[in-house]
Amino acid sequence: MSEWLSVADTAKKIAAGELTAVRVVDTYLSRIMNHDRELGSYLAVDGEGAREAAKAIDAQRAEGKRLGPLGGVPISLKDVLVTRGLETTAASKILEGWIPPYDGTVVEKLRAAGAIVLGKVNCDEFAMGSSTENSAYKRTRNPWDTQRVPGGSSGGSSASVAAGLCAASLGTDTGGSIRQPAAFCGVVGLKPTYGRVSRWGVVAFASSLDQVGPLTRSVHDAALVLEVIAGFDPRDSTSLDVPVPPYTDALVGDVTGLKVGLPREYFEGEIDNEVKAALDKTIAALKDRGAQIVDISLPHTSLALAAYYLVAPAEASSNLARYDGIRFGKAAQGAKDLLDLYMKSRGAGFGREVKRRIMLGTYALRSGYYDAYYKKAQQVRALIKRDFDDAFGSVDVILTPTTPTPAFRFGAKATPMDMYLGDVFTLSCNLAGLPGISVPCGLTSDGLPIGAQLLGKPLDEATVLRVGHVIESLVGLRDQRPKAVS
Amino acid sequence: MPALTRKEVEEIALLARLHLDASELDQMQGELGAILEHFAALAQVDTNDVQPMTHAVPMDLRLRPDEVAPSLSPEDALRGAPVKQDSVFVVPAIIGGNE
Amino acid sequence: MTELAQLLETWEPVIGLEVHVQLNTKSKLFSPSAVQFGAPPNSLTDPLVLGMPGTLPVFNRQALELALRLGVATESKIRAKSRFARKQYFYPDLPKGYQISQYDEPLCEDGRLDIIVGGAVKRIKLERIHIEEDAGKNTHVGQFSHVDLNRAGVPLVEVVTAPELTSAEEAAEFMRSLHRLVRWLEISEGDMEKGQMRCDANVSVRIRGEERLGTRTELKNINSFRFVQNAVEHEIARQVRIVDGGGRITRETRLWDADLGSSATMRSKEEANDYRYFPDPDLPPLVVDGGMMGTILRTLPELPAARFTRYIEQHGVSPDDARTLISDRALAEYFDVTCKLHPGERSGRTIANWMLTELLGALNAEGKDISQSPMQPATLSELIRLVEDGTISGKIGKEIFEESYKTGEAPTKIVERRGVQQISDEAALWEIVDRVVTANPKQATEYANGKDGLFGFFVGQVMKQTQGRANPVVTSDLLHKRLGR
Ligand SMILES: [Mg+2]
Ligand SMILES: [Zn+2]
CB contact under 8 A, C59 and B64: yes
* Chain C residues with beta carbon closer than 8 angstroms to that of B86: 41
* Chain A residues with beta carbon closer than 8 angstroms to that of B31: 356, 415-417
**Roughly what angle, to the nearest 10 degrees, separates helices B22-44 and A304-319?**
130
Q: Is the dihedral of CA C469, C470, C473, C476 positive or negative?
A: negative
* Chain B residues with beta carbon closer than 8 angstroms to that of C40: 74, 87
* Chain A residues with beta carbon closer than 8 angstroms to that of B14: 343
CB contact under 8 A, A95 and C50: no
CA distance C193 to A432: 49
- What is the residue type of C350? T
CB contact under 8 A, B91 and C149: no
Long-range contacts of C261-266 (CB under 8 A, 24+ apart): C261/C230, C261/C234, C262/C234, C263/C219, C263/C231, C263/C234, C263/C235, C263/C238, C266/B96, C266/B97, C266/C220
Q: How far is the CA of C21 from the centre of ligand 2 (A)?
A: 9
CB contact under 8 A, A346 and B18: yes
Active-site residue among A6, A41, A76, A78?
A78
**Using alpha carbons only, what angle is made at residue A135 by residues A212 and A360, rounded to the nearest 5 degrees?**
80
- For an interface test with A, which of C49, C56, C88 has the most A Cβ atoms less than 10 Å from its Cβ? C56
CA distance C347 to A295: 87
The answer to whether the CB of C318 falls within 8 A of the CB of C286 is: no
Q: How far is the CA of C18 from the centre of ligand 1 (A)?
A: 6
Which residues lie closer than 8 Å to A461 by C-beta, 6 or more apart? A190, A192, A193, A196, A226, A230, A247, A435
pLDDT tens digits, residue range A351-362? 999 999 999 999
Asked about A78 being catalytic, the answer comes back as: yes
Q: Residue A352 CB: number of other CB atoms within 10 A?
A: 15
Nearest bound ligand to CA C160?
A: 1
Which residues lie closer than 8 Å to C363 by C-beta, 6 or more apart? C369, C370, C372, C373
Asked about A153 being catalytic, the answer comes back as: yes
Closest CB to B94: pick one of C40, C145, C221: C145
* Beta-bridge partners for C101: C85
| B-chain residue closest to C267, CA distance | B96
Confidence of residue A210 (pLDDT cuts 50, 70, 90): very high
| Closest listed residue to residue A69, CA positions, set A227, A213, A190, A272 | A227
Q: Which residues of chain B have pLDDT under 70?
A: 1-2, 95-99
Closest CB to C266: pick one of B60, B66, B97: B97
Q: How far is the CA of C197 from the centre of ligand 2 (A)?
A: 12
The answer to whether the CB of A383 falls within 8 A of the CB of A432 is: no
| A-chain residue closest to B48, CA distance | A379
Per-residue model confidence (pLDDT) at position C169: 94
CB contact under 8 A, B57 and A99: no
Provide the 8-state DSSP code for A250: G
Per-residue model confidence (pLDDT) at position C345: 64
**Using alpha carbons only, what angle is made at residue C254 by residues C251 and C256, rounded to the nearest 5 degrees?**
155
Q: How far is the CA of C99 from the centre of ligand 2 (A)?
A: 9
Which residues lie closer than 8 Å to A131 by C-beta, 6 or more apart? A124, A149, A150, A151, A152, A155, A408, A410, A413, A419
| Closest listed residue to residue A396, CA positions, set A345, A433, A434 | A434
CB contact under 8 A, B52 and A379: yes
The answer to whether the CB of C153 falls within 8 A of the CB of C133 is: yes
* Chain B residues with beta carbon closer than 8 angstroms to that of C146: 85, 88-90
Closest CB to A321: pick one of C96, C281, C282: C96
**Using alpha carbons only, what angle is made at residue A476 by residues A167 and A282, rounded to the nearest 5 degrees?**
145
Closest CB to A321: pick one of C90, C92, C282: C90
Closest CB to C52: pick one of A315, A318, A328: A328
A369 in contact with chain C, both atoms CB, cutoff 8 A: no
From B57's Cα to the closest Cα of chain C, the distance in A is 9
CB contact under 8 A, A88 and C53: yes
The answer to whether the CB of A397 falls within 8 A of the CB of A463 is: yes
CB contact under 8 A, C142 and B69: no
Q: Is the dihedral of CA C364, C370, C374, C378 positive or negative?
A: positive
Does A67 score more than 60 pLDDT? yes
Closest CB to A309: pick one of B19, B35, B57: B35
The answer to whether the CB of C232 falls within 8 A of the CB of C15 is: yes
pLDDT tens digits, residue range A84-140? 999 999 999 999 999 999 999 999 999 999 999 999 999 999 999 999 999 999 999
Per-residue model confidence (pLDDT) at position C261: 87
| Closest listed residue to residue C199, CA positions, set C208, C207, C190 | C190
Which of A157-161, A267-271, A447-451, C204-208 shows the lowest per-residue confidence on average (mean pLDDT)?
Answer: A267-271
- CA dihedral B73→B79→B82→B85, nearest 10 degrees, is 50
Active-site residue among A76, A130, A153, A218?
A153
Which of A157-166, A458-467, C272-281, C463-472 shows the lowest per-residue confidence on average (mean pLDDT)?
Answer: C463-472
Q: How far is the CA of A257 from the centre of ligand 2 (A)?
A: 58
Per-residue model confidence (pLDDT) at position A367: 87
**C94: helix, strand or coil:** coil
DSSP letter string, A151-218 = -SSSHHHHHHHHTTSSSEEEEEESSSTTHHHHHHHT-EEEEPPTTTB--TTB--S-TTT-EEEEEESS
* Chain A residues with beta carbon closer than 8 angstroms to that of C276: 317-318, 362, 365-367, 370
CA distance A175 to A316: 13
From C139's Cα to the closest Cα of chain B, the distance in A is 9
| A-chain residue closest to C149, CA distance | A327
- CA dihedral A146→A151→A157→A162, nearest 10 degrees, is -50
DSSP H or E run through A76: strand A74-78
Q: Would you call the peptide bond into A2 cis, given omega within 30 degrees of 0 as the criterion?
A: no
**C40: helix, strand or coil:** coil
CA distance C18 to C188: 16
C286 in contact with chain A, both atoms CB, cutoff 8 A: no
Q: Which residues of chain C have pLDDT under 50?
A: none
- For an interface test with C, which of A365, A370, A374 has the most C Cβ atoms less than 10 Å from its Cβ? A365
Nearest bound ligand to CA C156?
A: 2
CB contact under 8 A, A370 and C278: yes
Closest CB to B88: pick one of C26, C89, C147: C147
The answer to whether the CB of C274 falls within 8 A of the CB of A366 is: yes
Helix, strand, coil shares, percent, chain C, to 5: 45, 20, 35
The answer to whether the CB of C29 falls within 8 A of the CB of C131 is: yes
CA distance A187 to A163: 10
pLDDT tens digits, residue range A331-388? 999 899 999 999 999 999 999 999 999 999 999 999 889 999 999 999 999 999 999 9
Active-site residue among A92, A177, A198, A345?
A177
CB contact under 8 A, B66 and C91: no
Closest CB to B91: pick one of A326, A330, A376: A326
Burial of A354 (0-12, 13-18, 19+ CB in 10 A): buried
Q: How far is the CA of A342 from the centre of ligand 2 (A)?
A: 23
* Beta-bridge partners for B49: none
CA distance A266 to A261: 11
Per-residue model confidence (pLDDT) at position B1: 44
Per-residue model confidence (pLDDT) at position B98: 45
- For an interface test with B, which of A89, A236, A359 has the most B Cβ atoms less than 10 Å from its Cβ? A359
From B95's Cα to the closest Cα of chain C, the distance in A is 8
Q: Over the Cα atoms of chain B, what is R_g? A: 22
Task: Write down which chains contact chain A via at least 3 CB pairs under 8 A.
Answer: B, C
The separation between the first and the last C-alpha atoms of chain B, rounded to the nearest angstrom, is: 32
CA atoms within 13 A on the CB side of C339: 21
The answer to whether the CB of A122 falls within 8 A of the CB of A43 is: yes
The answer to whether the CB of C19 falls within 8 A of the CB of C199 is: yes
* Chain A residues with beta carbon closer than 8 angstroms to that of C96: 321-322
Per-residue model confidence (pLDDT) at position C88: 97
Per-residue model confidence (pLDDT) at position C87: 97
CB contact under 8 A, B66 and C220: no
- For an interface test with B, which of A302, A340, A379 has the most B Cβ atoms less than 10 Å from its Cβ? A379
Q: How far is the CA of B88 from the centre of ligand 1 (A)?
A: 27
Does A435 score more than 50 pLDDT? yes
* Chain C residues with beta carbon closer than 8 angstroms to that of B73: 43
Higher pLDDT, C120 or A12: A12
